[in-house]
Every structure is written in structure tokens, then in C-alpha cells.
Amino acid sequence: MQLFFHSDLSKNQQQADFSKIESQHIVKVLRKQVGDEIEVTNGQGDWFLCKITMAQTKRCQIEVLAHKYYPKNHQYYLHMLVAPTKSNDRFEWFLEKATEIGVDEITPILTENSERKHIKIERYQKIILSAMKQSLQFHLPKLNDLTAFENILSIEADQKWIAHCYEDENRTELFRSVNPKQNYLLCIGPEGDFSLDEVKLALQHNFEAVSLGKNRLRTETAAISACHSIAIKNSNLDA
């Protein structure tokens, strides 16, 4: 099964046009023709069965045959705030894997030790979209622009965590700290970790310090492990 994306398609609509880029993909690359049925999502939980009614390279038009709403596969809201890695590839891996495993919102953050100060947000958006379609999900994680660490401190959430690698007896292991079915916010630092000042600042803003196990993990591995810890804590409520 292949899934297509149309951000504006809503459940009461009976027909729609794809964007030029998506039309080209459907008609030119995949050689879909008038009469072919395709499955489409708007990334907001809606799935549509559609029939192609016009198949021009720059204009692919569809008629909606059926609609179904799919709730998210997970019953929590996870906002990951991660410092982009020096190597862009590694951050892109995180975006793809977090989307596959389950994440609702992603904010790349700029911290004291960040080496990467610019991001390619359009490219990131495409990676997330493609991972959503590939993993057959109907909810597109929200991607925010690069944000300074100071500006994320007052975002509200039920549980707010900062993962750091300083020796600190007060750090809980993330998996233990997760209360199921909550609104979570989790910060992961860059290669050089958060500064001690940043950690202090976060603690003053009701963040809890967490660790992600005994091994020293790279930024992107830490971020993916964290998404997965939250996913399994929520899907094994009696474990």
C-alpha cells in the first residue's frame, strides 16, 4: 500500500487538486492514470480512498470515494526538543526514526554548545512527511523552526524533562519517570551536552533531570531511545 499526502483535504470535500509537485510525483513518476484508485491522508488523522479524475503532469485531480478517521496510535503528546547534530545526516535520521516510533512535535533547539546554528527546515519537513507515509500513519508531527533554549523554558506540559550527562544522583532514568497518557516535553542537548547553567535554568522552570541508561549515547541515539522509552511505557501500562 502506498499513501499520498494532501494537507488541505477535509472530510466533507468531494474533490481536490494536488499541488504541482505531488501531481508530478503521482502522474509522471508513478504513472498513475485516470480511473486509478489511490489512498490519501491529510496528516491530521483523515484517510481517504480517492479516484483520479484528471492526470496531467502538473495537475492531478481526485474524487473522494470514502473517508475514515484514524486516531493516533499512541495516547500521549510528545514534544521533542533536540539540538541539531554537527552532522546533518544524524539529525535527519532522528527525524525519520522519531516519526516512525511516535512523536507529535519537534523543535530543533539552539544551545550554548550547539555547533550547528542553521537548519534546512523544508528538507526536514519532507523527511518527516515521507516517514509518516512510509510507516502508514495518518498524523503528521509538527515541526517548529530552530528556537533558542531560553525560549522553550516556559512551554507548558504535564512532564518536562532535560536529559544531561553530568554526574547527578538526582537524575531519574526516563523510563521510570514517565507517567502514562500525559503531555510530555523532553530536551536533548548537542554533542557537548547542555551547559551547567542551562541545566540549572531548566530545573528552575520545573524540568526534571533524567538519564537515558548507563551507556554514553550520541545525541540522535539518545533522542530516539527517549521516544521509544515513552512509547513502551505507554503501551505496557501493566508491565
Distance CA 13, CA 101 (A): 31
Smallest distance, a copy of itself to C-beta of residue 113, A: 17
- Considering the complex, state which of residue 84 and residue 102 has its C-beta at the smaller distance from a copy of itself: 102
- Considering the complex, state which of residue 48 and residue 93 has its C-beta at the smaller distance from a copy of itself: 93
Smallest distance, a copy of itself to C-beta of residue 160, A: 21
- Considering the complex, state which of residue 72 and residue 200 has its C-beta at the smaller distance from a copy of itself: 72
C-alpha cell at 48: 481517504
What is the contact surface with a copy of itself in residues (CB under 8 A)?
A: 73-74, 93, 97, 100-102, 134-137, 173, 175-176, 213-218, 221, 224-225, 228-229, 231-232, 235-236, 239
- Considering the complex, state which of residue 117 and residue 214 has its C-beta at the smaller distance from a copy of itself: 214
Smallest distance, a copy of itself to C-beta of residue 12, A: 28
Q: Residue 18 burial by CB count (10 A; 0-12/13-18/19+): exposed, middle or buried?
A: buried
Residue 115 backbone phi and psi in degrees, to 5:
-95, -25
Distance CA 144, CA 8 (A): 19
- Considering the complex, state which of residue 107 and residue 229 has its C-beta at the smaller distance from a copy of itself: 229
* Residue with cell string 547553567: 197
C-alpha cell at 4: 499520498
Query: What is the rounded (10 degree) CA torsion for 46, 91, 216, 209?
Result: -60
Residue 138 backbone phi and psi in degrees, to 5:
-115, 10
Smallest distance, a copy of itself to C-beta of residue 193, A: 14
Smallest distance, a copy of itself to C-beta of residue 137, A: 7
